[in-house]
Chain A
């Protein structure tokens, strides 16, 4: 056993396997409860919110901005579902919209970054990181990623339509 690592814990005594399993089980339960304490109330709150007109209201507010990302206004409802609930709720809204492959990719990118914000924000805080700041980061990064992908896509479309217009290529 050659130890080349610089930060190898030299002084640490290695416990035997049963001790490690016991430590793992108790530590696993302890961390689970730490997370559950936060996620249960948040999950209930968000689920109750689903029964109120708040989601529709938010969708109407965000609809006009969707064009910036190359998406139809209705996609705003999918984003509200993704932000507050989860990706499966968002998919349920997306499928009936019959979006183009680019639009589905755009939704997947932006929602992949920012989803389930309430519960995951709470979970992030329990790790000791700043949950609120990180949640804000996710929203900002999701928008930046959306603009980036839209930019790539327009470039690609312009380039390919230009290539198509060349004589002898179509």
Chain B
């Protein structure tokens, strides 16, 4: 029983953390997304996104996931998927990219702290993500 309560307490702490990060993030996104800067940044990343089979609609959730991780990125992913109606193919490609390359700052730093080679980890992950997602987008053609 005590073990169960401890587990539940941990789960509640995780939930609080998720709310504290996701709510401000989604609010910030709602406030900023109409700014012309956002649109221009979208134009800038569009060619890169196309290389891995994604459209600019997926840019914000993709970059959120790359830097913040899957759990926090999911808040934005769900929101954008609803708003823009991202198709299943694009959701999968974005998921594949993020599966390989996500939360790059926190995850790599904790291994650098115990003696790992940060750039090696980062470039292998990024390279694999681009290659795999690029390949997959060519195998799975848009309907």
- Bound complex: CA of A130 vs CA of B75, how far in Å? 16
Q: Judge if A94 is at the interface, Cβ distance under 8 Å.
A: yes
Assess the A3–B71 pair: CB atoms within 8 A: no
Assess the B91–A94 pair: CB atoms within 8 A: no
Assess the B116–A101 pair: CB atoms within 8 A: yes
Interface residues of B in 53-107 (CB under 8 A from A): 55-57, 70-71, 74-75, 77-79, 81, 86, 88, 91-92, 94-96, 99-100, 103-104, 107
Residues in A with CB closer than 8 Å to B22 are 28, 31-32, 35
Given contacts A39-B15, A40-B15, contact A148 B124 (CB under 8 A): yes
- Partner among B74, B86, B92 whose Cβ is within 8 Å of the Cβ of A126: B74
Interface string of B17-35 (1 = CB under 8 A from A): 0110011111111110010
Given contacts A129-B94, A148-B128, contact A120 B114 (CB under 8 A): no
Assess the B95–A112 pair: CB atoms within 8 A: no
Given contacts A1-B36, A24-B28, contact A35 B74 (CB under 8 A): yes
Assess the A127–B77 pair: CB atoms within 8 A: yes
Tell me the minimal C-beta distance from B11 to chain A in angstroms. 4
Residues in A with CB closer than 8 Å to B25 are 28
Tell me the minimal C-beta distance from A14 to chain B in angstroms. 5
Assess the B39–A129 pair: CB atoms within 8 A: no
Q: Judge if B130 is at the interface, Cβ distance under 8 Å.
A: no
Question: Could you say which interface size class chain B belongs to?
Answer: 35 or more
Residues in B with CB closer than 8 Å to A111 are 111
- Partner among A1, A47, A126, A135 whose Cβ is within 8 Å of the Cβ of B7: A47
Assess the A47–B6 pair: CB atoms within 8 A: yes
Tell me the minimal C-beta distance from B3 to chain A in angstroms. 6
Tell me the minimal C-beta distance from B72 to chain A in angstroms. 9
Chain B residues within CB distance 8 Å of chain A: 3-4, 6-8, 10-12, 14-15, 18-19, 22-31, 34, 36, 39-40, 42-43, 55-57, 70-71, 74-75, 77-79, 81, 86, 88, 91-92, 94-96, 99-100, 103-104, 107-108, 110-112, 114-117, 120-121, 124-125, 128, 132
The contact sample of 15 A-B pairs, CB cut-off 8 A, is A1-B36, A23-B30, A28-B22, A31-B22, A32-B18, A43-B10, A44-B4, A48-B3, A51-B3, A105-B116, A109-B120, A112-B103, A127-B74, A129-B92, A129-B94
